[in-house]
């Protein structure tokens, strides 16, 4: 399994144009593509932290550029039978939904509609090229994980039970969601109708549960089934718009929020542990420790995982930005750099959080 972790810095919104930009991309060597994100130390503005990624996309990056660079290359692997998983991780307001779903205009379309469009195009080409001896079927599931419970977004809200859908471990070690609906999907139009309807389902819920969408993980699963005679090849592409990674405890101490925060923090923590373990090539991936990583069998299949860290460049996000950079950048390559005297400390030791602690690694405090 391979993993790529990339950062995307969003532009300033119209109402933010007079604000300070404190997050900036950089390259490891002059002339090379950006792989580094820099942000000042909130405790000492003369000092800057650097975080390394596999790629860093600045505010001018279009939806098309991001898709072409980070997702499109994996379509081939998906058709070869590998699973592809794409996460958007970050604080609420940093562009996760923009990156995954995007706007309605063609140029503003996000990763998800572009992925589907690519899958349909490839599927049709394959059927043409094999003169129909290979058939390609696409089915969709769309669900959210809220407070560690699974809810089907393709079903109307009234059908939700308080406990959500149960999970079941299959003989092959995979975890499945019992009773999750699957819809066949013929083309992009089909998909869009279903997707908009399902998202409205989520929006309806949002009016009942304050800011619900930032507190749940939304997972779209695209199952691809290629059949040639007796041979059936199945693979899945999963696109995940994660719950906001901000520390909810700081802003709201209601009991309901605390329960939500604990569930969000735990699952994001396990996710980051899995990503770390996969990128280190570890044998043991702690995917069983949260529902989301279990359902995705993260690290258990041969496949590709792309984590996109969304960042807002503003000072008002500074602490949350630092903590999400700490969680998602490749730990081994984190450097702390003094601007003034060029001292570079490599290999910042990882601190193990206390059980149940919120964020994976505390912001660096020199």
Binding site for ligand ADP (CB under 6 A): 10-11, 13, 90, 92-98, 214, 310
Pick what 104 binds: Mg ion, ligand ADP, none; C-beta below 5 to 8 Å, kind-dependent: none
Q: Residue 10 touches which of ligand ADP, Mg ion, none (CB < 5 to 8 A by kind)?
A: ligand ADP
Q: What are phi and psi of 222, to 5 degrees?
A: -105, 115
Note the residues at the interface with Mg ion (CB under 5 A).
96-97
User: Which residue's CB is nearer to Mg ion, number 316 or number 351?
Assistant: 316
88 or 360: whose CB is closer to Mg ion? 88
Q: If you ran DSSP here, which 8-state letter would residue 239 be given?
A: E
Nearer to ligand ADP, 295 or 311 (CB): 311
Q: State in angstroms the smallest separation of the CB of 228 from ligand ADP.
A: 40
Cβ 31 to ligand ADP, closest distance in Å?
25
Contact 235, 302 (CB under 8 A): no
**CA atoms 67, 195, 146, 152: torsion sign:** negative
What is the rounded CA–CA span in Å between residue 254 and residue 261? 10
Q: Which is nearer to Mg ion, 10 or 96 (CB)?
A: 96
Q: Which residues contact 217 (CB under 8 A, 6 or more apart)?
A: 144, 145, 146, 240, 241, 242, 243, 267, 292
Q: Given the complex with ligand ADP, which of 64 and 338 has the nearer CB atom?
A: 64
Question: Which one of Mg ion, ligand ADP, none is in contact with 98 (Cβ closer than 5 to 8 A by kind)?
Answer: ligand ADP
User: Of 153 and 177, which has the nearer Cβ to ligand ADP?
Assistant: 153
**With CB cut-offs between 5 and 8 Å by kind, which of Mg ion, ligand ADP, none does residue 326 bind?**
none
- Tokens read off for 30: 């002059």
- Of 276 and 320, nearer to ligand ADP (C-beta) is 320
Q: Give dist(CA 232, CA 342) in Å, integer.
A: 57
| Cα 53 from Cα 273, distance rounded (Å) | 16
Residue 310 touches which member of Mg ion, ligand ADP, none, C-beta under 5-8 Å by kind? ligand ADP
* H/E element, 322: helix 318-328
Which residue's CB comes closest to ligand ADP? 95
Least spacing, CB of residue 240 vs ligand ADP, in Å:
12
Q: State in angstroms the smallest separation of the CB of 5 from ligand ADP.
A: 17
List Cβ neighbours of 251 (8 Å cut-off, separation of 6 or more): none
In whole angstroms, the minimum distance from the beta carbon of 265 to Mg ion comes to: 17
CB of 1 to Mg ion, least distance (A): 27
Q: Minimum CB separation from Mg ion for residue 95, in Å?
A: 8
81 binds, among ligand ADP, Mg ion, none (CB under 5 to 8 A by kind): none
Closest to Mg ion by CB, 97 vs 238, is: 97
CB of 244 to Mg ion, least distance (A): 8
Nearer to ligand ADP, 180 or 268 (CB): 268
Task: Return the HEC string of 39-107.
Answer: EEECCEEEEEEEEECCEEECCCCCHHHHHHHHCHHHHHHHHCCCEEEEEEEECCCCCHHHHHCECCCHH
Burial class (CB in 10 A: 0-12, 13-18, 19+), 335: middle
State the binding partner of 11 from Mg ion, ligand ADP, none, CB within 5 to 8 A by kind. ligand ADP
Residue 202 Cβ vs Mg ion, minimum distance, rounded to whole Å: 10
Report helix, strand or coil for 352: coil
Binding partner selected for residue 265 from Mg ion, ligand ADP, none, CB under the kind-specific 5 to 8 Å limit:
none
Contacts of 237 (CB under 8 A, 6+ apart): 78, 83, 84, 85, 86, 115, 119, 221, 222, 224
**Burial class of residue 21 (count of CB atoms within 10 Å of its CB; 0-12, 13-18, 19+):** middle
SS3 354: coil
The entry of ligand ADP, Mg ion, none near residue 13 (CB within 5 to 8 angstroms by kind) is ligand ADP
How many other CB atoms sit within 10 Å of the CB of residue 191?
23
Token pair of 272, please?
A: 């980051």
């Amino acid at each position: 399994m391979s993993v790529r972790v990339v950062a995307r810095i969003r532009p300033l919104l119209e109402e933010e144009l007079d604000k300070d930009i404190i997050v900036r991309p950089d390259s490891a060597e002059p002339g090379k593509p950006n792989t580094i994100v820099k942000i000042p130390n909130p405790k000492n503005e003369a000092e800057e932290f650097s975080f390394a990624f596999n790629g860093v996309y600045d505010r001018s990056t279009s939806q098309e550029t991001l898709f072409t660079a980070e997702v499109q290359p994996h379509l081939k692997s998906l058709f070869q039978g590998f699973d592809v998983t794409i996460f958007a991780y970050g604080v609420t307001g940093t562009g996760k939904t923009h990156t995954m779903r995007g706007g309605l205009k063609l140029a503003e379309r996000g990763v998800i509609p572009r992925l589907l469009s690519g899958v349909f195009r490839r599927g049709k080409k394959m059927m043409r090229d094999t003169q129909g001896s290979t058939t390609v079927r696409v089915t969709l599931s769309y669900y959210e994980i809220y407070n560690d419970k699974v809810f089907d977004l393709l079903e109307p809200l009234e059908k939700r039970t308080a406990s959500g859908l149960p999970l079941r471990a299959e003989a092959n070690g995979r975890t499945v969601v019992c009773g999750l609906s699957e819809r066949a999907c013929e083309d992009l139009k089909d998909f869009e109708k279903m997707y908009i309807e399902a998202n409205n389902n989520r929006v309806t819920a949002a009016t009942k549960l304050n800011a619900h969408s930032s507190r749940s993980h939304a997972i779209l699963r695209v199952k691809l089934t290629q059949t040639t005679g007796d041979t059936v090849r199945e693979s899945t592409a999963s696109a995940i718009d994660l719950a906001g990674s901000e520390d909810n405890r700081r802003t709201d101490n209601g009991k309901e929020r605390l329960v939500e925060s604990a569930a969000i923090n735990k699952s994001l923590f396990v996710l980051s542990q899995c990503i770390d373990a996969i990128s280190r090539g570890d044998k043991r991936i702690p995917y069983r420790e949260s529902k989301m990583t279990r359902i995705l069998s993260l690290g258990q299949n041969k496949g590709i995982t792309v984590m996109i860290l969304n960042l807002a460049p503003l000072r008002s996000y500074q602490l949350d930005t630092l903590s999400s950079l700490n969680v998602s950048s490749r730990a081994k390559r984190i450097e702390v750099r003094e601007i003034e005297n060029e001292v570079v400390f490599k290999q910042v030791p990882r601190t193990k959080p206390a059980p149940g602690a919120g964020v994976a690694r505390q912001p660096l405090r020199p």
